[in-house]
Amino acid sequence: MSRIGKKPIIIPNGVEATVGSASAEIKGPKGTLSVAFPSAMKVSLQPEPKALIVEMSDETVPGQSALQGTIRQLLANAVAGVQKPFEKSLEFVGVGFRVAVAGNEVKMEIGFSHSVNFPLPKGIEAKVEKQILTLAGIDKQLVGEIAAQIRHLRPPEPYKGKGIKYKDEVIRRKAGKAAIKTA
């Protein structure tokens, strides 16, 4: 049995939820998100207190409990995202590494012979403060995916620590070559 999947998702004031047969739409002050779910799950809207409840249609089928927890968390992320956008921060570490935002594109100089332009999808906003790029958006999955794609362009290396890393990421450093003593 899924413990997380059984918890109701409380819908705060200013957020509206409409539930269909295969998807739920969450509207809030920051935007609208739609979460699709399989027919094996039943999502219902409870009037008092205003909440979403995810239930399994058949508890005997293996994997239903995990799926219930996943759908519940996706709905909870949608409710949280339409209230306050999710953020991910990337730090550019290295000599000559620069980042700038121009419109809906991130321009980066990350040690290649050319600058790298990364177009941002609709719904993602970016801002730069010194060497830190902060991505924000209402869809948690999309913010994380875009941050991972940018990090993948130049992941941090373990010897000098150069590259693009998450702001709270700790890079385990390796020792360089040890000098060989000859007699």
Task: State whether 73 and 109 are in the same domain.
Answer: no
The model carries a pTM of: 0.86
24, 53, 81: which is the final residue of a domain?
81
* 59 and 109 inside one domain: no
pLDDT digits (tens, 9 = 90+) for 94-139: 999 999 999 899 999 999 999 999 999 999 999 999 999 999 999 9
Q: Does residue 181 lie in a domain region? A: no
125 closest CA partner among 41, 37, 50, 30:
30
CATH number of the domain that 69 lies in?
3.90.930.12
CA distances from 83 to 8, 33, 75 (A): 18, 11, 13
Q: How high does pLDDT run on average in the chain?
A: 90
Instruction: Please compute the mean of the pLDDT values over residues 17-22 and round it to a whole number.
Output: 90
Question: How many domains is the chain built from?
Answer: 2
pLDDT class of 57 with cuts at 50, 70, 90: confident
- Looking at the fold, whether 60 and 23 belong to one and the same domain comes out as yes
| Closest of 103, 151, 108 to residue 124, by C-alpha | 103
In a domain, 91, yes or no: yes
Beta strands in the chain (DSSP E): 9-10, 16-19, 23-28, 31-36, 41-46, 51-56, 86-93, 98-102, 105-109, 116-119, 125-129, 132-137, 163-166
Q: Looking at the structure, do residues 74 and 96 belong to the same domain, yes or no?
A: no
Q: Residue 182 pLDDT more than 90?
A: no
Q: In what order do the strands lie in the sheet with 16-19?
A: 16-19, 23-28, 31-36
Note the pLDDT of residue 46: 86
The reply to whether 13 and 44 lie within a common domain is yes
Cα–Cα–Cα angle for 79, 81, 82, rounded to 5 degrees = 70
Residue 93 corresponds to which tokens in the numbers above? Answer: 């570490």
Other Cβ atoms less than 10 A from the Cβ of 150: the count is 23
Same structural domain, 161 and 105 = yes
Q: In this structure, are 114 and 147 located in the same domain?
A: yes
Would the CA dihedral through 55, 30, 83, 50 be positive or negative? negative
Whether residues 107 and 160 share a domain: the answer is: yes
Which structural domain, as residue segments, surrounds residue 45? 3-81
- Give the lowest-confidence range in 24-38, 49-63, 132-146: 49-63
User: Angle 140-153/64-81 helices, nearest 10 degrees?
Assistant: 90
Tokens at 20, concatenated: 């269909």
Residue 2, pLDDT score: 62
Residues 83, 14 contacting (CB under 8 angstroms): yes
Let me know if residue 130 belongs to a domain. yes
Q: Using an 8 Å Cβ cutoff, are 126 and 111 in contact?
A: no
